[in-house]
Structure 1
Amino acid sequence: MIPGIDSYCFHRYFGDAYPGLETDPGERLDVWGFLDRALELGAQGVSLEACYLPADDPFLDRLRERLDTNGLQRVWAWGHPNGLGSGTRSEAVEDLARHLAAARRVGAGVMRICCGGRRTRPADWPSHRDALLPLLRSLLPVAEAQGVVMAIENHLDLFSEELVELLERVDSAWLGVCLDTANNVRLGEDPLVVVRRLAPWTRATHLKDVAPLAGAGDAFTSWPSVPLGHGVVDVAAVVQLLRGAGYDGLLAVEIDYLHPLHGTDERAALRTSMQVLRESLAKSRPLTG
């Protein structure tokens, strides 16, 4: 498994601060600056949020050259914030297909996708499922043609059992999971139960930890991000469960809304997180038998 960083950790620097929760840092970061920071922090791979990047061929070719030069594993990430709109945005299918081609062009074999988000999740699971299935099935030939696996993030829109049902019904090697280790805590699920359930389908990851914040207004703000090892997610157990499931891809640390107790220093939080991740990898046991 490969320790890495998701560019969403620096969303404030890409001009995407959460209104009312975060401040603008007063400076901007482009992808080249992000890659510099990721390398400085010891990342061996990156997950690149497409919403902050151009998608024209000259840019993608330049990006691939830089990633190759630095020996960075890469995942392309599509769909922030609402993706397929929980099945209501059929027009997003064409954009997702275009990004499968972009993922291939930058040399990514996996693209994280969002089926929806906390703003789009309907109350009725059967109708939610039935709206998503035809959209996902229509994309399978495109993913296969590009040689890029689509990895659905559990993005505060899907309980883990619902995501498993989607995967079982589609039943394709071109559809898997981008496992976020903390999002389903915000839906009331036990993080290790979620990891055990989703590990067999995992093709990409967001290694995230969260801690409760008393008096916050909703499931998202009640569980802000913290550096790995400072919240309710047992990172060492997550790494071991993924290793046991045969996962050997990118372990991308992600920070969304950083807990107020940890200030606004994303780099300090990432420095701590990368150290915890390296220690967890060193302690994890290889598969036997």
Structure 2
Amino acid sequence: MWRPAAWLPAGPPHTSMGVCVYSFGYRRPKSAYEFLEYGHELGAGGVQIGLDSLEPDYTQRIRRRAEQLDMYIEVIADLPSEDPSGFERKVRAAREAGALCLRAACLSGRRYETFSTLEEWKRFVTESKRKIARALPVLEKYRMPLGLENHKDWTADELVELLKEYSSEYLGACIDTGNNIALLDDPMDVVERLAPYAVTTHLKDMAAEEYAEGFLLAEVPLGQGMLDMKRICQTIARARPKAKFTLEMITRNPLKIPCLSERYWATFPDRRGECLARTLSLVRAHKPERPLPRPDAFDPAVRLRLEEDNVRQCLAYASEQLGFQPSAISRQLSAISFQQRVRALFGAP
């Protein structure tokens, strides 16, 4: 009996590391199912994606396909603003899709750009805690872990304090390995502080250079930046062996971190000069070997190719240098012969 090609395990993952949909700002997938297939084509071991439909038929279809491809699913979700019923529907759908966890962020922007005063920041903190309090009963009901990302909002100290305040096995961190450089945290200290709470990760490498008001910060392919990727991965894996490593390789122009401007410091009353000195020393000690990426200077077709190439480089580095090899099941899939694939499509003669 004929079956669509989507039923075929067309090729195994090249690495156990997954890829987050935020790695594709230029090539935006139309659906979670499409991104799952694309991640498999790239050789990723899993995907982190938002669900475009919460219907059981759709989520179960995603689950079946992920199982066939030996890939994991992580679901991106927003914390509940008021009525938690919508959040509960998303958590239930994520569970039906076979998601290992949720990823959420309290702030969609950047702290030093979003808030002009300390009072604004304090109101944000209060509202964030309310959202977390609404989310926790739902997470506990469905036994679904959620990783809060350090999304250029919380310093490492603040996020650890926040997680300790709730002390739930279903609330942890999505450790972004590069974001907190923008808040003048030491990147390795961030990893070491958050590793015991890791639910998932946004694995990335970073490069930086100074400019008049501070420094420029950009994601670069793994192994080409200033971060000790092996030490980072070993630290997280030791603390939380079950946490997945999910790539977030954003291809974009460098971000300006205006840490020498007065406004930058408005919401950091406890940051000391040593944080600034340490970060600028880090930037100066790791001058990029090549110019920071500026993909907006290229035409759309070139940007698309560059974006995919950056992700492919990262996945290859993860497999070859970080030890993120495919699972045993994935290796078994690679042994399926051409004849077996034909029989899977058309049935045995």
TM-score band, normalised by shorter chain = 0.7 to 0.9
Asked if the contact 1:226/1:258 (under 8 Å) is kept, the reply is no
Partner amino acid for 1:148?
A: M
Unaligned runs of 5+ in 2: 1-14, 254-291, 296-302, 326-349
Distance 1:147 1:141 in 2: 10
Asked if the contact 2:25/2:251 (under 8 Å) is kept, the reply is no
Which residue of 8, 16, 25 corresponds with 1:11? 25
Partner amino acid for 2:314?
A: S
Query: Segments of 4+ in structure 1 off by > 4 A?
Result: 119-122, 124-127, 213-219
Asked if the contact 1:235/1:280 (under 8 Å) is kept, the reply is no
TM-score w.r.t. the length of structure 2 is 0.67
Asked if the contact 1:104/1:147 (under 8 Å) is kept, the reply is no
Partner amino acid for 1:5?
A: V
TM-score w.r.t. the length of structure 1 is 0.79
Asked if the contact 1:202/1:247 (under 8 Å) is kept, the reply is no
Q: Aligned pair in 2 of structure 1 residues 115, 278: CA closer, same or farther (>3 Å)?
A: same
Matches within 5 A, 1:89-108: 90-91=81-82, 93-108=84-99
Q: Is residue 320 of structure 2 the alignment partner of residue 273 of structure 1?
A: no
Partner amino acid for 1:235?
A: M
Asked if the contact 1:228/1:276 (under 8 Å) is kept, the reply is yes
> Does the residue aligned with 2:17 lie in a helix, a strand or coil?
strand
Q: Hey, what does 2:64 align to over in structure 1? A: 65
- What is the Cα deviation at residue 40 of structure 1? 2.6
Partner amino acid for 1:102?
A: A
Q: Aligned pair in 2 of structure 1 residues 231, 74: CA closer, same or farther (>3 Å)?
A: same
Q: Which has the higher contact order (CA 8 A, sep 6+)?
A: 2
Q: Hey, what does 2:135 align to over in structure 1? A: 139
- What is the Cα deviation at residue 126 of structure 1? 5.1
Q: Is residue 48 of structure 2 the alignment partner of residue 47 of structure 1?
A: yes
Q: Is residue 255 of structure 2 the alignment partner of residue 223 of structure 1?
A: no
Unaligned runs of 5+ in 1: 15-27, 85-89, 285-289
Partner amino acid for 1:62?
A: R
Partner amino acid for 1:279?
A: E
- What is the Cα deviation at residue 95 of structure 1? 3.5
> Does the residue aligned with 1:242 lie in a helix, a strand or coil?
helix
Q: Is residue 142 of structure 2 the alignment partner of residue 176 of structure 1?
A: no
Which residue of 246, 252, 272 corresponds with 1:252? 246
Asked if the contact 2:152/2:179 (under 8 Å) is kept, the reply is yes
Asked if the contact 2:105/2:148 (under 8 Å) is kept, the reply is yes
Deviations 1:152-191 (A, max 9, x none): 0111111111111111000111101111111111222111
Asked if the contact 2:172/2:197 (under 8 Å) is kept, the reply is yes
Q: Aligned pair in 2 of structure 1 residues 29, 100: CA closer, same or farther (>3 Å)?
A: closer
Which residue of 217, 234, 247 corresponds with 2:228? 234
Distance 2:161 2:151 in 1: 16
Asked if the contact 2:105/2:151 (under 8 Å) is kept, the reply is yes
The RMSD of aligned alpha carbons is: 2.8
Q: Aligned pair in 2 of structure 1 residues 135, 224: CA closer, same or farther (>3 Å)?
A: same
Which residue of 92, 96, 112 corresponds with 2:103? 112
Distance 2:53 2:110 in 1: 25
> Does the residue aligned with 1:177 lie in a helix, a strand or coil?
strand
**Which structure's CA Rg is the greater one?**
2
Q: Which moved more, 1:175-184 or 1:112-121?
A: 112-121
Distance 1:277 1:78 in 2: 26
- What is the Cα deviation at residue 148 of structure 1? 0.6
| Sequence identity percentage | 30
Q: Is residue 165 of structure 2 the alignment partner of residue 159 of structure 1?
A: no
- What is the Cα deviation at residue 282 of structure 1? 2.5
Asked if the contact 2:32/2:50 (under 8 Å) is kept, the reply is no
> Does the residue aligned with 1:148 lie in a helix, a strand or coil?
coil
